[in-house]
Amino acid sequence: MQERDKKDIAEWYQQYGETILKYILMMVRDYQHAEDLTQETFVKAYKNKHSFKGESQPRTWLFSIAHNTTIDFLRKQKPIELIREMLPSLMDKNPLPEEMVEIEESTRDLYIALGNLKPAYREVIILRKIKGFSIEETSQILNWSEGKVKTTLYRAIPALKKQYGKEV
């Protein structure tokens, strides 16, 4: 491997490692496994850097590897309840203790509802609405058509609202 490739992977790890870890954590709900899968994602990226042609953003390519690595892991596991990690606080100010409890309860309910969705719904919501990927990037990560991403998201949002209503 060329020195430039090693440097790229190191830079990408610095830039995207934490967000990939959080993405994987939302999928597997176990910090140790998420760390291992993040490491595995970057090892695969390192080994396959030659296949990155620059047709997408490095972030999209890395999330695609992370997605596939995580799906492979989940297929090997028994069904796992998903998502324990809390969303970052939605408030700009420092919340009062009562507000923190309210935020945590609301976030927990949201993640429970998200965990009860079909995997395809959960994945598209996480990538599009939580991680902020575009439709094009989400389609590349999931290896779906853009139409499937749009349709799945269109169906996933009402399903999430329905599940969230059950949790509250």
Query: Does 117 have pLDDT greater than 80?
Result: yes
Whether residue 109 is found in the same domain as residue 70: no
Q: What is the pLDDT of residues 123-162, one digit of tens each?
A: 898 888 888 888 999 999 899 999 999 999 989 888 888 8
Query: Does 102 have pLDDT greater than 60?
Result: no
Whether residue 8 is found in the same domain as residue 80: yes
Query: Does 107 have pLDDT greater than 70?
Result: no
Whether residue 97 is found in the same domain as residue 167: yes
Domain count for the chain: 2
Whether residue 81 is found in the same domain as residue 103: no
Kindly indicate the confidence band of residue 36, based on its pLDDT and cuts at 50, 70 and 90. Answer: very high
Whether residue 106 is found in the same domain as residue 158: yes
Whether residue 7 is found in the same domain as residue 72: yes
Whether residue 167 is found in the same domain as residue 96: yes
pLDDT at 1: 53
Query: Does 74 have pLDDT greater than 90?
Result: no
Query: What is the DSSP secondary-structure string of 13-67?
Result: HHHHHHHHHHHHHHHH--HHHHHHHHHHHHHHHHHTGGG--SSS-HHHHHHHHHH
Whether residue 80 is found in the same domain as residue 118: no
128 vs 122: CA distance, rounded Å: 10
- Which residue, of 85, 116, 143, is where some domain finishes? 85
pLDDT at 148: 94
Q: What is the span of the domain harbouring residue 40?
A: 1-85
The CATH number of the domain holding residue 26 is 1.10.1740.10
